[in-house]
């Protein structure tokens, strides 16, 4: 199968684009209706055996995740994702059938999110399999990581450490882990960022928003740098899921470490004044989003700290996932 | 050096973005002023030892080319490039110093083109080195490959086959080829798409426009598919440069094959009514763009043909560069 034949096959995997796409796959570039609001734009890359492994993931799940991690970035600005381009570099050992299956996962995620996959690029590589997806979105007033003030509530969606625990379980038990630890493994291979709810947060008075893809501690330090506030997180408030505790025990890990530092979690970390708390939690409840207050912001000079169960205040270092 | 340290270093390599960039590197996504016209968007990937080789290219040239190939796609729509995102996947053997040098080339090309490099992604890979760049641009009325009519002039900029000849020379003689065949090797490693002139073509009455990155024959077939016309190209009109002839002779290639099928040439192929010819050529001359009429469009049923020097009409098959 030639390059153009593969592109034709991938094109057929996708549904017809929506009306805002004026020229899709087949010309030099995409031509689309311009976003009405601010342009948001992100790119993220998955590399086989660095970010995913065909032993743990179905090809469709790899495609889903490759798109979802980008949608999470747009959601973390309070924005709406519109269009996606997919750039693949494929070694010979990966069959065309598998590439089509990955595209099926991209399509499923795109349909879930209302995003048009409008083209991309297909290239050859020698060894590594590389899936680079870039997403354009829009937001009227983007929610940055720089808006937090001192004395605000810090809250997260979901259960930090769940994805990292799922990854540990998949590494230890392979596919068997999926039956034993369904929540954590599913969260790892099939992340579902809080796309719809994230759009409401600006209107609800959220002052800073970020996703915790690099791990909670790392992202707290990012907000510290952007907003010029410190954080006091309370261990007793952290929602550590049962599966995280079970997997931590079975793999000799500390569940608190998984919750504080585990990455690849596409949940939201936010700050807002206490006065907004009840409105924001009602909205989360109504939308089925688990939201937990985990601490409060303090002055920048106090840094990022965690209050342990015994009441001691300890520095919470940035130990998030890094490839280098 | 950690991931965030490398990102800091790359960020410092770049100039401050222009005012249209509201939030650049450092938040979840770029936030920028929305293009005023139609949104154009493309992505293209260079893989080491597939698309480039550190033996022939300086790191800066690799960076330049990785961005330039995307700018060429936007130019081929008659558009203006605005923003670029860079996604790198880097194996351990490639030093951070080299990555910074590649970024210097990206910066140089971005400054040449007036484009803001607004962020991207840095990831680890196991073996292959990937440079994926995505560019957003705008165009009021994009020039598609689908507008050609029967009986129009077919013209190209530049000298087809020059880049492919340069590649052959670099393969055969390594860096020495750069002194011996400066035009072709430079065109291969340092392409300069016709960004400014391309923007004028819609107003001058050009009906279809495409870049010949996949090779002239391949792109003619692309326009055939889009515009529903055939082509008659005349061998006697094809501007085959002396270096193409010399390198073809030294490497036992047919210079006509290089001109018709050689890829990685970021020149423009266009169609327009004969009545526009004098205006378009004056404009090209004024802007220092070598423009050559190479044939005319015919009905779709006649296909893509070349009239040889002896006057015979032969099919011109699509033999452009393909990775598969």
Band (A181; pLDDT cuts 50, 70, 90): very high
The span from the first CA to the last CA of chain A, in angstroms, equals: 36
Question: How does DSSP classify residue B36?
Answer: S
**Residue A295 structure tokens:** 């601490």
Among A284, A155, A165, A163, residue whose Cα is nearest residue A220: A155
Q: What is the reported pLDDT for A42?
A: 95
pLDDT in tens, A210-258: 999 999 999 999 889 888 899 999 999 999 999 999 999 999 999 999 9
Q: How far apart are CA A82 and CA A19, in angstroms?
A: 12
A12: how many CB neighbours lie within 10 A of its CB?
9
- For residue B324, the model assigns a pLDDT of 52
Which H/E stretch holds residue A227? helix A216-227
CB proximity list for B187: less than 8 A, separation 6 or greater:
B158, B162, B163, B166, B265
Task: Name the B residues in 27-56 with CB < 8 Å from any A CB.
Answer: 27-45, 47, 49-51
Per-residue pLDDT, B37: 85
The helix (H) or strand (E) run that includes residue B227 is helix B216-227
DSSP A17: P
Least Cα distance to A197 among A108, A282, A295, A265 occurs for A282
Determine which of B4, B18, B21, B39 to mutate to test the interface with A (most A C-beta atoms within 10 Å). B39
Q: Which residues of A touch B36 (CB under 8 A)?
A: 34
Q: Which residue has the tokens 């260079």?
A: B46
Where is B118: in which H helix or E strand?
A: strand B116-124
Chain A, nearest residue to B84 by Cα: A41
pLDDT of residue B6: 87
Set of chain B residues whose Cβ sits within 8 Å of the Cβ of A41: 29-30, 32, 83, 85, 118, 136
Mean pLDDT of A129-153: 94
Q: How far apart are CA B205 and CA B209, in angstroms?
A: 11
- CB atoms A30 and B42 under 8 Å: yes
DSSP state of B301: G
- pLDDT-based confidence at residue B322 (cuts at 50, 70, 90): low
Lowest mean pLDDT among A12-16, A155-159, A206-210, B127-131: A12-16
Which helix (H) or strand (E) segment is B165 a member of?
Answer: helix B162-173
- Of B289 and B146, the structure prediction assigns the larger pLDDT to B289
**B270-306 pLDDT, tens digit each:** 999 999 999 999 999 999 999 999 999 999 999 999 9
d(CA B269, CA B155): 6
Q: Do A324 and B3 touch (CB under 8 A)?
A: yes
Helix (H, G, I), strand (E, B) or coil at B117: strand
Residues A232, A233, A234, CA angle at the centre, nearest 5°?
120
Distance in angstroms (rounded) separating the CA atoms of residues A188 and A73: 17
Question: Which pLDDT band holds residue A26 (cuts at 50, 70, 90)?
Answer: confident
3-state secondary structure A249-284: HHCCCCHHHHHHHCCCCCCEEEEECHHHHHHHHHHH
Q: Mention every residue, 6+ apart, whose C-beta is less than 8 A from residue B159.
A: B239, B240, B241, B244, B259, B267, B290
Nearest CA in chain A to B44: A121
Dihedrals φ, ψ of B272, to 5°?
Answer: -165, 155
Q: Best residue in B10, B28, B221 to probe A by mutation, most A CBs within 10 Å?
A: B28
Contact A28 B42 (CB under 8 A): yes
How far apart, in whole angstroms, are the C-alpha atoms of residue B16 and residue B116?
A: 9
pLDDT at B28: 82
Q: What's the pLDDT score for residue B320?
A: 67
Search chain A and give the residue with CA nearest B82.
Answer: A39
Q: What is the pLDDT of residue A321?
A: 55
| DSSP state at residue A78 | T
Tell me: the pLDDT tens digits for B64-95? 999 999 999 999 999 999 999 999 999 999 99
* A211 in contact with chain B, both atoms CB, cutoff 8 A: yes
Nearest to B85 among A76, A127, A134 (CB): A134
E strand spans, chain A: 21-23, 30-32, 38-47, 80-90, 116-124, 130-139, 153-157, 208-211, 229-234, 268-272, 291-299, 304-307, 313-315
Q: Is the pTM of this model over 0.90?
A: yes
A-chain residues near B34 (CB < 8 A): 34-39, 138
- Residue A25, strand partner residues: A27
Whether the pLDDT of residue B206 is over 90: the answer is: yes
Helix-strand-coil percent breakdown of chain A, rounded to 5? 40, 25, 35
The yes-or-no verdict on residue B128 having pLDDT over 90 is: yes
Burial class (CB within 10 angstroms; exposed 0-12, middle 13-18, buried 19+) of A134: buried
Quick check: A76 and A201 in contact, CB under 8 A?
no
Within 10 Å of residue A175's Cβ, how many Cβ atoms? 12
CB-CB under 8 Å, B124 with A323: yes
What are the φ and ψ backbone dihedral angles of B82, each rounded to 5 degrees? -115, -55
Return the minimum-mean-pLDDT range out of A273-282, B7-16, B188-197, B268-277.
Answer: B7-16
CA dihedral A220, A226, A229, A231 (to 10 degrees): 0
pLDDT at A1: 58
Distance CA A153, CA A158 (A): 16
Residues of B in contact with A37 (CB under 8 A): 34
pLDDT by residue (tens digit) across A152-170? 999 999 999 999 999 999 9
Structural domains in chain A, CATH included, are: 3-139 (3.30.1330.10), 153-315 (3.90.650.10)
pLDDT in tens, B242-254: 999 999 999 999 9
Average predicted confidence (pLDDT) for chain A: 93
pLDDT of residue B26: 75
Mean pLDDT to the nearest integer, B104-112 = 97
What's the CA gap between A274 and B39, in Å, rounded?
41
Q: Specify the DSSP element, H or E, that contains A5.
A: helix A3-13
Coil, helix or strand at residue B164: helix
């Amino acid at each position: 199968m030639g390059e153009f034949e593969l592109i034709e096959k991938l094109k057929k995997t996708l549904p017809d684009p929506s009306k805002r796409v004026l020229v899709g796959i087949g010309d030099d570039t995409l031509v689309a209706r311009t976003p009405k609001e601010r342009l948001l734009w992100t790119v993220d890359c998955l590399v086989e055996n660095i970010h995913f492994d065909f032993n743990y993931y179905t090809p469709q799940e790899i495609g889903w995740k490759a798109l979802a991690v980008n949608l999470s970035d747009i959601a973390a600005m309070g924005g709406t994702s519109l269009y996606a381009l997919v750039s693949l570099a494929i070694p010979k050992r990966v069959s065309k059938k598998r590439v089509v299956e990955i595209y099926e996962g991209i399509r499923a995620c795109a349909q879930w999110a209302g995003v048009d996959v409008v083209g991309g690029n297909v290239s050859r590589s020698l060894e590594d399999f590389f899936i680079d997806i870039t997403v354009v979105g829009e937001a009227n007033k983007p929610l940055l990581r720089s808006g937090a003030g001192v004395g605000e509530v810090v809250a997260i969606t979901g259960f930090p450490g769940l994805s990292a625990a799922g990854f540990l379980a998949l590494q230890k038990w392979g596919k068997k882990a999926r039956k034993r630890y369904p929540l954590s493994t599913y969260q790892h291979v099939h992340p579902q960022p809080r796309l719809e709810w994230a759009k409401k947060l600006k209107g609800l008075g959220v002052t800073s928003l970020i996703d915790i893809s690099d791990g909670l501690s790392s992202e707290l330090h990012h907000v510290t740098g952007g907003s010029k506030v410190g954080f006091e997180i309370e261990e007793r408030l952290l929602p550590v899921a049962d599966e995280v505790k079970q997997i931590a025990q079975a793999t000799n890990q500390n569940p608190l470490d998984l919750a504080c530092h585990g990455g690849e979690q596409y949940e939201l970390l936010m700050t807002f004044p206490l006065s907004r708390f009840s409105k924001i939690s009602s909205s989360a409840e109504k939308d089925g989003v688990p939201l937990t207050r985990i601490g409060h912001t303090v002055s920048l000079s106090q840094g990022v700290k965690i209050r342990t169960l015994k009441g001691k205040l300890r520095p919470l270092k940035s130990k998030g996932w890094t490839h280098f």
